[in-house]
Amino acid sequence: MLALVLNTNENSITVQDVPKPKTGPKQILVCVRAVALNHVDYMNALKPLAAQAKRVLGSDFAGKVVEVGLDLIDFDDPRVKIGQRVSGFLQGVNSVNDRPGAFAEYLVVEYDLCWTIPRSLSFEEDATVSLAGMTAAQAIFGGVAICSTTETRSFAAAFYQFLGSGAVSNEVKLQPNPVRLLPGGLDKISSKGFNLLSVNQKSEPGQATEIFKRVSGEKLVFSLTAR
């Protein structure tokens, strides 16, 4: 199969013919139909962490399940059905992980690290969801303070709107951490008392600095700072 390969010794990237990966007992083989380019992919290519001579790049992917591992043959889960459309992400160039990345014709991944693609989305649309969406979810629900990208801010806003709309059942104990960026508010989204604000550090550095000073004693769990 063809794949985008990072040659770490030469610090070069080329399309090469590499062996198709084999599925493990709880893995699925995905025929890749679309991928998304993330900042981490660029950074991995620019300053690779991988010690191996050749690594397949890529994180976000979307495609169809074409093969499943032995433990999944009779497993009742839509993500292990042949022909199912799925998406997810891999860590393509990781020094402690030999698994090939997503920029290839085929990839293997644990079935429970994927999700099915809604009929309303194309492969290309869904390939952009996984990494940015997971980053936003970890920031909101996990209490991680980050400086987000445009894509992550969009997903964070969508999560807040989703929670505020009542679409999440009361039986599901999911609530976002309170965001303390209350002043300024160029883009404000309120939901059940939670405030999500965006401050453009580049165009309004003074305002951004003052806001961070005011919240220094609070728990800042999600910093929506535009670049």
CATH number of the domain that residue 76 is part of: 3.90.180.10
Residues 13 and 90 in one domain: yes
Is the model's pTM score more than 0.85? no
Distance CA 212, CA 206 (A): 10
Average pLDDT, the chain: 74
Q: By the 8 A CB rule, do 188 and 195 touch? A: yes
Residues 27 and 86 in one domain: yes
Residue 126 domain-assigned (yes or no) = no
Residues 159 and 192 in one domain: yes
Which of the listed residues 121, 148, 181 is the one where a domain comes to its end?
121
SS3 per residue for 109-152: EEHHHEEECCCCCCHHHHCCCHHHHHHHHHHHHHCCCCECCHHH
Residues 157 and 100 in one domain: no
Residue 34 domain-assigned (yes or no) = yes
Report the pLDDT value the prediction gives residue 191, as an integer from 0 to 100. Answer: 40
User: Residue 31's domain spans which residues?
Assistant: 2-121
Residue 140 domain-assigned (yes or no) = yes
Nearest to 92 by CA among 80, 109, 79: 109
The terminus-to-terminus CA distance of the chain in angstroms comes to 38
Counting every residue written for the chain, the total comes to 227
Residues 117 and 24 in one domain: yes
Question: What is the arrangement of strands in the sheet containing 12-17, beginning at the earlier edge strand?
Answer: 12-17, 2-7, 54-56
Residue 27 domain-assigned (yes or no) = yes
Residues 90 and 151 in one domain: no
Report the pLDDT value the prediction gives residue 219, as an integer from 0 to 100. Answer: 39
In the predicted model, is pLDDT for residue 97 greater than 60?
A: yes
pLDDT tens-place string over residues 2-50: 999 998 888 789 999 999 999 999 999 999 999 999 888 888 888 777 7
Q: By the 8 A CB rule, do 162 and 168 touch? A: yes
Mean pLDDT, residues 167-180 taken together:
43
> How many domains does the chain contain in total?
2
Residue 69 domain-assigned (yes or no) = yes
Report the pLDDT value the prediction gives residue 157, as an integer from 0 to 100. Answer: 62
Residues 69 and 149 in one domain: no
Residues 42 and 116 in one domain: yes
pLDDT tens-place string over residues 187-218: 343 443 444 444 555 666 666 566 555 544 44
Residues 86 and 175 in one domain: no
Residue 71 domain-assigned (yes or no) = yes
Residues 101 and 139 in one domain: no
Residues 51 and 32 in one domain: yes
Residues 106 and 157 in one domain: no
